[in-house]
């Protein structure tokens, strides 16, 4: 358990999404020793960008997770202003519309939207700079060993000697790791995270539609976006399609190539034009966002030195994840008295 007198306490953070990275930055700034583990090849989690594997010449890329973010709180505002000044984020001034029927598009009210530059994941890469991050390490269990927390990864390796562990994962995955704290595990289990099938389409020609992002309120899709309309992207036409949560749930176990074909047909129906695609692939996000986030910004079992954060705590989306990571870091700093 952490105490004010513990020599050089070490903190492990499981999850290098926005919540985990923001917490790691804050704890490091407070002089604490932090190590971050993530199962992915890189950092960022759902702040994710995929390059077009079918045609590398065009350098097309797709933000297939988070599309953009908005800013409400002063804390997030301050960080976003810093990212804007550094050029790792910029405003996306794309034309945004909504559709209530096939082929019908109505411009939405103006709103300031930001994206990472040159990719959504650029923000996570920026935050990870200077941190000790182990990628490609999936933590399978947490237990007590020699009076400290021990992490065991799925290759059977152990990572020992942590006084505090912050679990910054989607709620169902956090619950699995937090069995040592029944109160935290139970709280995580009350949150349902809903899926989203995403498709990434490379087009040979620009699509002649009067929008760059469209909220779709009919059929299988919920959102489509011209990714190359975002700042700092290569010009080759690249579209991301998101299926609605309902459609994604109903078709969760379909093969990805079947989903890609179905979403392509839905796209064509929604806009009244048949896009000529060079390639289209689909990716399943099993936990795209919470159905209903918890009221608390983070979860704490300070006596055990266990904490949890993510976009399912306090508020959803990118800003929610940011505020949750920050709140968890403050709570951990407080636990060291
Ligand atoms: C399709 C989609 C569209 C979205 N659109 C928007 C949008 O337009 N605007 C917006 O604001 N938000 C959007 N979001 C939500 C936004 O992406 C998330 O709210 C935010 O990125 C969550 O950050 P996080 O740190 O809480 O979790 P995550 O980003 O999920 O980070 C968790 C990390 O934990 C890692 N991990 C999981 N299990 C383990 C393990 N056992 N061991 C080690 N590592 C592990 C994962 O690899 C991941 O990197 C969207 C999300 C999706 C999926």
Q: How far is CA 80 from CA 43, 83, 263, 301, in A?
A: 18, 5, 33, 30
**So what's the pLDDT on residue 59?**
85
Among 153, 169, 176, residue to substitute to test ligand 1 (most atoms within 8 Å of Cβ): 169
Q: Ligand 1, residue 319: give the atom nearest the CA.
A: 11
| 180 alpha carbon – ligand 1 mean position (Å) | 24
- Please tell me if the CB atom of residue 222 comes closer than 6 angstroms to any atom of ligand 1: no
Tell me how far apart the alpha carbons of residues 172 and 178 are, in angstroms, rounded to a whole number. Answer: 10
pLDDT of residue 7: 59
Q: Kindly tell me the sign of the dihedral angle through the C-alpha atoms of 205, 211, 212, 218.
A: negative
Ligand 1, residues 38, 66, 292: which to mutate, most atoms within 8 A of Cβ?
A: 66
Distance 74 CA to ligand 1 centre (A): 22
The whole-angstrom separation of Cα 299 and Cα 11 is: 16
Mean pLDDT by 10 residues, the chain (337 residues): 61 98 98 97 96 81 97 98 98 98 96 97 97 98 96 98 98 98 98 98 95 98 98 96 98 98 98 94 98 98 98 97 98 95
pLDDT at 104: 96
Structure confidence at residue 206 (pLDDT): 95
Q: What is the pLDDT of residue 4?
A: 45
Count the neighbouring beta carbons within 10 Å of the beta carbon of residue 110.
8
* Confidence at residue 155, expressed as pLDDT on a 0 to 100 scale: 97
How many C-beta atoms surround the C-beta of residue 278 within 10 A? 17
Contact 32, 333 (CB under 8 A): yes
Q: Is the CB of 290 under 6 A from ligand 1?
A: no
- The residue contributing the CA closest to ligand 1 atom 37 is 169
Residue of minimum CA distance from atom 20 in ligand 1: 318
List of E strands, the chain: 10-14, 33-37, 50-51, 61-62, 89-91, 96-101, 104-107, 114-116, 132-134, 139-145, 148-153, 158-162, 164-167, 193-203, 213-216, 221-226, 238-243, 277-290, 299-301, 306-308
39 CB within 6 A, ligand 1: yes
**CA 54 to ligand 1 centroid distance, Å:** 25
Determine if ligand 1 sits within 6 Å of the CB of residue 285: yes
b/e code 94-106 from CB counts within 10 Å (16+ = b): bebbbbeeeeebe
- For the record, the structure tokens of 269 come out as 């129906």
Contacts of 29 (CB under 8 A, 6+ apart): none
pTM: 0.96
| Site to substitute for ligand 1 among 40, 41, 46, 121, most atoms within 8 A of C-beta | 46
| Distance in Å, CA 170 to ligand 1 centroid | 7
279 C-beta neighbours (distance < 10 Å), count: 14
Contacts of 292 (CB under 8 A, 6+ apart): 191, 192
pLDDT of residue 109: 96
Answer for the pair 92, 115: CB distance below 8 angstroms, yes or no: yes
Does the beta carbon of 318 lie inside 6 Å of ligand 1?
yes
End-to-end C-alpha distance for the chain, whole angstroms: 12
Atom of ligand 1 nearest to the CA of 316: 19
């Amino acid at each position: 358990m952490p105490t004010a007198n513990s020599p050089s306490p070490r903190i492990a953070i499981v999850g290098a999404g926005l919540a985990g990275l923001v917490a790691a930055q804050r704890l490091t700034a407070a002089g604490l020793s932090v190590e971050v583990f993530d199962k992915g090849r890189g950092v960022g989690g759902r702040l994710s960008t995929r390059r077009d594997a079918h045609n590398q010449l065009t350098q097309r890329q797709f933000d297939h997770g988070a599309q953009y973010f908005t800013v409400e709180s002063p804390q997030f505002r301050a960080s976003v202003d810093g990212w804007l000044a550094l050029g790792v984020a910029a405003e996306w001034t794309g034309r945004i519309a909504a559709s209530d029927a096939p082929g019908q598009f109505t411009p939405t009210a103006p709103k300031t939207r930001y994206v990472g530059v040159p990719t959504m994941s650029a923000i996570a890469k920026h935050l990870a700079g200077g941190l000790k991050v182990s990628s490609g390490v999936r933590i399978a269990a947490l237990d007590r060993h020699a009076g400290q927390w021990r992490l065991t990864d799925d290759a059977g390796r152990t990572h020992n000697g942590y006084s505090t562990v912050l679990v910054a994962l989607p709620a169902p995955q956090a619950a699995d790791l937090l069995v040592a704290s029944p109160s935290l595990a139970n709280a995580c289990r009350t949150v349902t995270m809903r899926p989203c099938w995403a498709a990434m389409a490379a087009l040979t020609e620009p699509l002649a539609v009067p929008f760059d992002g469209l909220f779709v309120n009919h059929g299988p899709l919920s959102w489509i976006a011209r990714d190359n309309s975002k700042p700092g992207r290569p010009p080759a036409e690249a579209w991301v399609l998101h299926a609605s949560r309902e459609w994604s749930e109903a078709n969760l176990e379909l093969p990805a190539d079947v989903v890609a074909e179905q979403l392509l047909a839905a796209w064509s129906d929604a806009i009244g034009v048949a896009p000529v695609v060079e390639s289209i692939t689909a990716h399943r996000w099993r936990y795209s966002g919470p159905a209903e986030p918890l009221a608390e910004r983070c979860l704490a079992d300070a006596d055990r030195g266990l904490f949890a954060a993510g976009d399912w705590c306090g508020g959803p989306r990118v800003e929610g994840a940011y505020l949750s990571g920050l709140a968890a870091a403050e709570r951990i700093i407080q636990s060291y008295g």
